[in-house]
Structure 1
Amino acid sequence: MEIDYIALFVSDVGRSLIFYRDALGFRFEKPAKPDSAEGYSGNLKIGLYDRSWLPKLFGDRGKQIISGNPFLLSMTVDDLDLVYQELCDRQTRHNVDIIAPPQVMPWGQRILFLRDPDGNLLEIVQVVN
C-alpha cells in the first residue's frame, strides 16, 4: 500500500492554487474549478477542495468545525538553500509564510518550515546522500 493522493480542504481554492503552483512549483495541468483543483507534486496527486466539500463527502461528520492543523506535508529537495532563496523571493507575492529558515534538526535532517495560506504546516527537507 502507498499514498497516491492527498486532499487539502482550503478556505480559498484560487489562493491555494496560486500558492502551490507558483510558490512551490506543483503542476496543475487541468483548469481549476471554482471549488476544486487537482495537480501533482512529482508523482503524488494533490487535490485542493473548498471546505464546502466536507459535508458532501462525509455527511454530518463533515459539518464539524475544522480546528487546528493536525498534519504536516513534507517535501524533499536536493538544494534547500536554493529553494529557501526562491521562497524568500516569492514571499510577498504568493503568501509564503516562512516559519524558520533552514536549520539542522536534532535528528540530523536539514529542514525549512513554512505554512500555506490556510495555515497548514509544510516542511521542505534537504536530501542527504
Structure 2
Amino acid sequence: MQDLSAHHVGITVSDLDRAVSFYRDVLGLDVLARFSVGGEEFATGVGVANASADFAHLDGDGARIELVEYEPEGEDATGGDVNQPGAKHVGLAVDDLDAFYETLPDEVETISEPQTTESGTRILFVRDPDENLVEILET
C-alpha cells in the first residue's frame, strides 16, 4: 500500500463568491487558485449525475481548504451541532484568539466567546455564510 498524505479539506458551499469573501476577508486565508470542473468523468467520480463544480483553493498555512459550489446543488446538510456524526468543522489556528475574536465583523455568527477547555486549549467556533462550522484555536 502506498503512503497517504493530506492534500485538502473540502467544504461544499452554496455561493462560491460569498464563501471566498468570508474565508479570505474574515479569516485571512490566501486564495491559491480558482477553477471549474465538469464532464462525464467528473460526474462519475463524484457520484452525482451531470455534476459540474466551481472550486477555490485557499492556503491555511499548510492546510489547503477547498471550497466547492456544485451544480446541481444537493440537499442542505449545513448547520447542526458539532457532535452530530459526519464532517462538521475545519480547524484553523491563530496566535492570539482574543485579538482575533475582537476583529470579527458583527455579522459573523459565533457559538460562544473564546473558551479555555480542560486540556488548556483556547477555542472559538464560528459559522461561515453556509453555517459550516470553523474552529479557531490558539496555538
CA distance in 1, matches of 2:112, 2:23: 19
Gaps in structure 1 of 5+ consecutive residues:
55-62
Superposed CA deviations along residues 8-45 of structure 1, whole A, max 9, x for unmatched, are 11011011000000000010144566932222111222
Q: Give 1 or 2: higher helix fraction.
A: 1
**Aligned position for 2:62:** 43
**Aligned position for 2:106:** 91
Tell whether 2:71 aligns with 1:52. yes
Is this contact kept in 1: 2:34–2:55, CA < 8 A? Answer: no
**Aligned position for 2:16:** 13
Structure 1 consecutive aligned stretches of length 4 or more whose deviation exceeds 6 Å: none
CA distance in 1, matches of 2:5, 2:101: 29
Cα RMSD (Å) of the superposition? 2.3
SS in 2 for 1:2: coil
CA-CA distance at 1:105 after TM superposition: 1.7
The structure 1 residue matched to 2:90, chosen from 66, 70, 73, is: 73
| Equivalent residues, number | 113
Which is higher, the Rg of structure 1 or of structure 2? 2
**Aligned position for 1:105:** 117
TM-score with structure 1 setting the length:
0.74
**Aligned position for 1:59:** none
**Aligned position for 1:28:** 31
AA paired with 2:9?
A: I
% identical equivalent positions: 34
CA-CA distance at 1:103 after TM superposition: 0.9
Gaps in structure 2 of 5+ consecutive residues:
37-52, 80-85
Tell whether 2:135 aligns with 1:120. no
